[in-house]
Amino acid sequence: MGKLRALLSLTYAQKLSLVAAIPLVVAVAAIAVMVAYESRATAEREIKALERRLIEAKKEELRNYVTQARNGFAYIYGRASPDDEVAQNLVTQILSAMIYGKDGFFFVYDYDGNNLVSPRQTEFINQNWEGLTDSEGVPVVDEFIRLARQGAGWHSFMWQKPSTGEEAMMIAYVVGLQDWRWAVGTGVFIDDIVATVANARAEVEARVQRTFLYIGGIVLAAVLIVFASGMLLNIRERRLADAKLKELTKRVIDAQEEERGRVARELHDGISQILVGVRYALDNARRRLSKGDHDGARAPLDKGIDNLGTAITEVRRISRDLRPGVLDDLGLGPALKALTDDFRERTGIETEFSTVVFRNRLDQDSKIALYRIAQEALTNIERHSGATRVTIDLRGHKKGATMRITDNGRGLRSRPGRVSTGIGLRNMQERIEQLDGSLRILSSRGAQSGTVIEVSLPLSHLLPPQEDATPKGKAGS
């Protein structure tokens, strides 16, 4: 019931897309099954035909071997009597010497099942093998004798390969010497044919699987197109969802600002190295005092006190960076001026800030966003650019407000006009997109290197003077 309710609660566009996609998927699935079936059937016919041709070639090869062997002893057999043992011994010697390849040999059985010739497997000689079967229960010697009595014939069975000792399928061709009651023949192993057929079947199966993948990809693309078409009918709901998402993102950013204000009172990681230095200085002073060296303890104590003062100053600076009070009290212009002054004093980089007082005023969200972007940009310049000069310009115009940050550093590695995937630049992009503004980055490398970050806000974020909550006498941008 829950799934049925979920299905009924779909939007009109989603239901339309679903109705269009289901017949498409079913039809393509049926086509895929038919294509796979026909492909397998056609390939199986071709594989069986190939197997028959290969086996026929093997049989013809066997027939030639036996014919050549028979021609080799025909002059002896033709003049010998049925009980001529001398002639029979000569023929068995000739056949015993006729070995070829790694596993090829001739064999002779009399009609009673006694083995007379087996050069590759000599343990068979002079043994009676009547009733012998292979591992699958197929009669071997009895079938040889039956074919020899009929004149000639082929027989397939499992036999141990002399070269490896492993069983494999063998095809044998047998002829009968009726005067001597002998079954003479030879055989070839067809495991190479079996392997070829197995490889062909595996290749066919791989082709069928690739066909399924191709069809699946086509179906997926078609379904995506159908759903994309359906989503075009749901633009209004998408816009509402985007508005809600922006509102949620705004609340998240606001929560982050509040959290930074709280963390600013507790943050100490940025000064951990300084505090470690203080601890070492105090430890050094304690050791000297314990030894009675009061004069020697003065220097590490002074150094520890200086480092501790530096740590206190650093904590205050970090707290001010996290949530500058001047931004709330005096506005964006003075806050940026204080930021650039502190940056110049701390880094020694020549930094200039210029602004034009707006007739209109920025709303609070825009002030925070521009301040954070400037803060992030200066941090990146200090860490990565190697610049010696930085300028920040903030001004309003008929289309809104623009802040431009320029440095003469080594430039970015990303292509001009495109925002890098770095965390800092990505944060800038997200902040300005939240306000429907734009962020443009221009960078060059070489003799005229440098980077320009230009942030623009639309006119909707500039408030009329009567709506500005900033008290008179305080800077208004």
CATH 3.60.15.10 fits 324-477, yes or no: no
In eight-state DSSP terms, residue 175 is: E
Q: Would you say residue 45 has pLDDT above 90?
A: no
Q: Which of 42-46, 158-162, 402-406 has the lowest mean pLDDT?
A: 42-46
Buried/exposed code over 204-231 (b: 16+ C-beta within 10 A; e: otherwise):
beeebeeeeeebeeebeeebeebbeebe
Tokens (6 digits) for 3: 């799934």
Task: Give the other-Cβ count within 10 Å of 60's Cβ.
Answer: 11
Q: Would you say residue 303 has pLDDT above 60?
A: yes
Half-sphere exposure of 113 (CA within 13 A, CB side): 12
Mean pLDDT: which of 7-11, 234-238, 265-269 is highest? 234-238
Query: What is the torsion angle, in degrees rounded to the nearest 10, for the CA atoms of residue 356, residue 357, residue 358 and residue 362?
Result: 100
Are the CB atoms for 477 and 336 separated by under 8 Å? Answer: no
**Model confidence over 135-189: pLDDT tens digits?**
899 999 999 999 999 999 989 999 988 888 888 888 899 999 999 999 999 988 8
Q: Which residue has the higher pLDDT, 364 or 7?
A: 364
Query: What pLDDT, on the 0 to 100 scale, is given for residue 111?
Result: 93
Residues near 320 by beta carbon (within 8 Å), at least 6 away in sequence = none
Tokens (6 digits) for 20: 């269009």
Q: Would you say residue 337 has pLDDT above 50?
A: yes
Q: Would you say residue 364 has pLDDT above 50?
A: yes
What are the residue ranges spanned by the domains of the chain?
Answer: 235-263, 324-477
Query: What pLDDT, on the 0 to 100 scale, is given for residue 416?
Result: 46
Query: What pLDDT, on the 0 to 100 scale, is given for residue 468?
Result: 45
Label residue 172 exposed, middle or buried (CB < 10 Å: 0-12, 13-18, 19+). buried
Residues near 408 by beta carbon (within 8 Å), at least 6 away in sequence = 387, 388, 389, 449, 450
Q: Which of 38-42, 321-325, 362-366 has the lowest mean pLDDT?
A: 321-325
Q: Which of 89-93, 357-361, 439-443 has the lowest mean pLDDT?
A: 357-361
Binned at pLDDT 50, 70 and 90, residue 472 comes out as: very low
Spatial separation of the C-alpha atoms in residues 107 and 181, rounded to whole Å: 14
Mean pLDDT: which of 37-51, 171-185, 293-307, 456-470 is highest? 171-185
Binned at pLDDT 50, 70 and 90, residue 391 comes out as: very high
Which of 97, 128, 96, 93 lies closest to 113, judged by CA? Answer: 128
Q: Would you say residue 343 has pLDDT above 50?
A: yes
Q: Which of 4-8, 203-207, 241-245, 463-467 has the lowest mean pLDDT?
A: 4-8
User: What does the pLDDT average to over 312-331?
Assistant: 71
Query: What pLDDT, on the 0 to 100 scale, is given for residue 255?
Result: 59
- Displacement of CA 378 from its chain's centroid (Å): 37
pTM of the model: 0.41
Q: Would you say residue 206 has pLDDT above 90?
A: no
Residues near 314 by beta carbon (within 8 Å), at least 6 away in sequence = 270, 271, 274
Give the phi and the psi of residue 243 in degrees, each rounded to 5: -65, -45
In eight-state DSSP terms, residue 331 is: -
Q: Which of 23-27, 403-407, 420-424, 434-438 has the lowest mean pLDDT?
A: 420-424
Q: Which residue has the higher pLDDT, 406 or 243?
A: 406
Binned at pLDDT 50, 70 and 90, residue 41 comes out as: confident
Q: Which of 16-20, 49-53, 172-176, 200-204 has the lowest mean pLDDT?
A: 16-20
